[in-house]
Amino acid sequence: MNGVVIHVIETPSLGDRTYVVHDGTVAFVIDPQRDIDRVLALLESEDVRPTHVLETHIHNDYVTGGLTLARATGAAYLVNGDDDVSFDRIPIRDGESVEVGPRMRLRAIATPGHTFTHLSYALTDGDDPVAVFTGGSLLYGATGRPDLLGDEHTDALVRHQHGSAHKLAQGLPDGTEVYPTHGFGSFCSATQSDATESTIGQEKQTNPVLTQDEETYVRELLEGLEAWPSYYVHMAPANTRGPSKPDLSPPTTADATELRRRIETGEWVVDLRNRTAFAAGHAPGTFNFGIDGDFVTYLGWLIPWGTPVTLLGETSEQVAEAQRELVRIGIDRPAAQATGSPEDWADGELVNFSTATFADLEQVRHHRDIVILDVRREDEYRSTRIKGAHNIPIHELPERIADVPAGEVWVHCASGYRASIAASLIEASGRTPVAIDDSFENAEKVGLHLVGPEA
């Protein structure tokens, strides 16, 4: 790549990427996450000096580390001059270029669609086109979703997104490598793709935004949009204020009496163990968000914003990992922590609930009157569902516990992770659920009657 090195820092829990690019001496960073120690460690290992930190847009799915990184390193912090922010930055606008060292040049390209002020950055090494950093604009086989700024803006933004993708495709050589920030499981992506690399030429052949006419693209994209995490509404305000450096020092330790007090006052005490261990025994009133799954997405989505959260882990490493995940979405300090085993966390008897498979469900429904609760998203439920199942999407469950039908509740999702979260919420409300820890793909195989257009 003509001597320019592009490093990818993955944040799989949020489906995002940060990019560190250097020529062996100087570097720039695109869309850094809040926990900048990962970026600093990479810069040190590569023995390069960062001169610029750039944002493609005001992010809606995480709290940026851009301002903190720039202050820590002395790098220039570049944010669109049309973004209304509360901190000093170097304003940059469409068509302006930035020289990074003697050979790298970045050109800002206005690519509205994900936001109105979104920028992409085209990189050249001397006169040679190398890459384009597309943020939430052109993704691998998809685009960033256009509905995060409110329904009143969605139609305008989705049409901007189509135009922006074509602008990139027409203005850059086919061999230009594409480096998006979103699209690796992020709910900021309108659809998902398994691709991990691409070029402008490949996207021209496969990306619907570049193969469909505007009206078809708009109609199909809007029809396919799913719910997005509620904590997103807090991200852009935090990013326009200028996020501070996160505090990743260990939280205070709570004993069993303190944990009980926190639960009884309505705080969230979160058990980070895997769902099998949680079901087998846990402190009453605790919620299961396993650190082995989409922990931060679902905790951030379900918790009433501002509710104190205490973390329970088998090890201090589990707690530290969860704490790191939380600062990325602006939950800065856990109220407390405890490590060890559930016997250490309960001031009385442990509680548990049963787990089962879809084969178990198929058997039991013939001789017991049970409630099947499907906690997948509405779009998943509409597509294919067990006949007679009730749907309360997991993100609605905290506010709709009273809507869970009376009776013996068997709760399922697509794989078991969300079902365990739901079961812990239901149990904490005073009922005893059965959590189906199984792949939904097995439901039809064992004889359960599925309905829906994709059944």
Alpha carbon distance 200, 196 (integer Å):
14
Q: Would you state the pLDDT for residue 1?
A: 43
What DSSP character marks residue 199? B
Q: At what angle do helices 37-46 and 66-73 cross, to 10 degrees?
A: 40
> Which fold would CATH assign to domain 256-345?
Oxidized Rhodanese; domain 1 (3.40.250)
Alpha carbon distance 287, 302 (integer Å):
11
The full set of domain ranges for the chain reads: 5-241, 256-345, 354-451
Q: Would you state the pLDDT for residue 346?
A: 96
Alpha carbon distance 139, 118 (integer Å):
14
What CATH code would you report for 354-451?
Answer: 3.40.250.10
Q: What is the pTM of this model?
A: 0.94
List the chain pLDDT tens, one digit each, 455 residues: 458 999 999 999 999 999 999 999 999 999 999 999 999 999 999 999 999 999 999 999 999 999 999 999 999 999 999 999 999 999 999 999 999 999 999 999 999 999 999 999 999 999 999 999 999 999 999 999 999 999 999 999 999 999 999 999 999 999 999 999 998 888 888 777 788 899 999 999 999 999 999 999 999 999 999 999 999 999 999 999 999 999 999 999 999 999 999 999 999 999 999 999 999 999 999 999 999 999 999 999 999 999 999 999 999 999 999 999 999 999 999 999 999 999 999 988 999 999 999 999 999 999 999 999 999 999 999 999 999 999 999 999 999 999 999 999 999 999 999 999 999 999 999 999 999 999 999 999 999 999 999 88
Residue 175: partners with Cβ closer than 8 Å, 6 or more residues away: 129, 199, 200, 201
Amino acid symbol at 350 = L
Number of neighbours of residue 327 by Cβ within 10 angstroms:
23
Identical fold at 5-241 and 354-451? Answer: no
Which conformational region is residue 447 in: left (phi greater than 0), alpha (psi within -120 to 50 degrees), or beta?
left
Question: 185 near 192, Cβ under 8 Å?
Answer: yes
Residues in the chain: 455
Nearest CA-CA partner of 85 in 104, 103, 70: 70
Q: Would you state the pLDDT for residue 188?
A: 83
Rounded to 5°, angle at Cα 439 from 192 and 181? 20
Nearest CA-CA partner of 58 in 27, 34, 79: 79
Q: Would you state the pLDDT for residue 181?
A: 97
What CATH code would you report for 5-241?
Answer: 3.60.15.10
Rounded to 5°, angle at Cα 143 from 171 and 291? 135
From residue 249, give the alpha-carbon distance in Å to each of 36, 252, 324: 15, 9, 10
Judged on CB neighbours under 10 Å (0-12, 13-18, 19+), 359 is middle
Question: 277 near 294, Cβ under 8 Å?
Answer: no
Nearest CA-CA partner of 158 in 215, 197, 77, 212: 215
Alpha carbon distance 395, 377 (integer Å):
8
Number of neighbours of residue 333 by Cβ within 10 angstroms:
16
Alpha carbon distance 328, 113 (integer Å):
24
Amino acid symbol at 380 = E
For residue 256, which phi and psi values (nearest 5 degrees)?
Answer: -60, -40
